[in-house]
Amino acid sequence: MKNLKIFNSLSNKKEIFFPINNRNIRIYACGPTVYNYAHVGNARMAVVFDTIVKLLRYIFPKVTYVSNITDIDDKIIQRSLVEKKSCEQISATYLSIYNSEMKQLNVDNPDFQPKATEYVESMIEKIKILQDKGYAYFNEGHLLFSVLTFPEYGILSKRSKEDQIAGKRIKVASYKKKPEDFILWKPSKENEPGWSSPWGKGRPGWHTECFAMASDILKTPFDIHGGGLDLKFPHHENEIAQGCCFQKNKNIQSYAKYWMHNGFVTFEEEKMSKSLGNIALLKDYLKVYNGEIIRLALLSAHYRSPLVWKESLLIQSKNILDKFYEVLRKLEDVKLENYNTKLPDELEGYFFDDFNLSKVFAYLNRIIKDKENYKNEEKKMKLKKILYTTGNILGIFKQDTNEWFKNDKKASEKDIKEIEKLIEQRSLARMEKNFNLADNIRKQLIDLGIEIQDSPKGAKWKRVK
């Protein structure tokens, strides 16, 4: 077996992956805050780390994967006020939507999906110890981590002391002794959820959640800590500070040994993030495209590179999948006892080189074109096994080949914007009681393979198979 090489953000270079215990690989990746529908950026993180875990499972006998859910947060509180529901209702609703959408992307459930609210007791215990050891101070109702007590701070993001002061141009909160200090505990207002603590009724800071849950479930040090690039600073930097100080072990790998980050999703040259109001919601793409198409599109750029999200990417992914499903359909009569095999060294080498998926696909394209591989049953069997084993790692080729081609190509290739625009025009026509126009638009949509259903919450649509 070749060595797996991964890019470690901590050392800023590609390194051979040496597990802490090769009988159980432990990996943690920061999951979403559940206050709204998942956007494409959330989906990329989930698909990237699911693929990393799938490759680790191909190599090692056991992998324990933890990905958390932030279910207490200012954004959830705000949303609960807007929707006039409790924070529990908001987070439960969006968590269940998130999980069902991830399932459509062939993302397996993590082994553990801890919710922050279930670990508050443990967070309180841990930050109390940090305070007792002199790493934290209490001021104006807030417990803060004093960054000065951890000289290694900045090691992950490679930020200078100057740059660490996120928002130094913004007025620094009066409870902070230094602008770079971060919140471990903050007070809750009367109408906000809170827990009693040595510092009064309040709630934990976001950076404390992951530190407590990862330490409790995986035990430290664990092998890999991951998340989106936007979490590198300050979130992951703050986790390292807490993790190392908690153990009084200033070795920066005493919390997590390797750090992996997936790149941003960009959308018309702008960072895609809900807070910027530049929203590309996964649910809208799932209405039109099969989850596997979206998954492959999310894997189309190297996981560390930015991914420029555009409609043509989805069409391209669909064409790639069509091509492979066509081959799998041709190989349907070839009987396999199991769908997993040891991959050829060359192909394995591409996977093991920090997930060089473009080389993986170049290899697959080569072998499906080679007539030699269809010459006899044995060769066909080998080809089929390679395709399905690769598919298991990448989370694709999961559908029945005949089912795959039943999907209405016409609708799936349609521009989602065009469909949404027609629906909007139809709603407007209905509001203006122009039922003739509304009906004509409905017919146009049917021609495009789109069925529309009106509900009290507005029009819903689906692709007609």
Q: Which residues bind Zn ion (CB under 5 A)?
A: 30, 210
Nearer to Zn ion, 212 or 301 (CB): 212
Closest alpha carbon to 322 in 377, 271, 330: 330
Give the residues across from 137 on adjacent strands.
144
Distance CA 81, CA 245 (A): 37
Please tell me whether residue 87 adopts helix, strand or coil conformation: helix
DSSP output for 31-54: --B-SS--BHHHHHHHHHHHHHHH
445-450 long-range Cβ contacts below 8 angstroms, 24+ apart: 445/419, 448/410, 448/411, 448/414, 448/418, 448/419, 448/422, 449/408, 449/410, 449/411, 449/414, 450/411, 450/414, 450/419
Nearer to Zn ion, 210 or 343 (CB): 210
Distance CA 85, CA 109 (A): 27
Distance CA 348, CA 338 (A): 19
Distance CA 61, CA 166 (A): 42
**DSSP H or E segment with residue 383:** helix 377-394
Q: Which residues of 252-277 are buried (b: 16+ CB within 10 A; e: fewer)?
A: bbbbbbbbbbbbbbbbeeeebbbeee
N- to C-terminal Cα separation, the chain = 44
Cα within 13 Å of Cα(414), Cβ side:
26
Strands 63-67 and 25-29: parallel
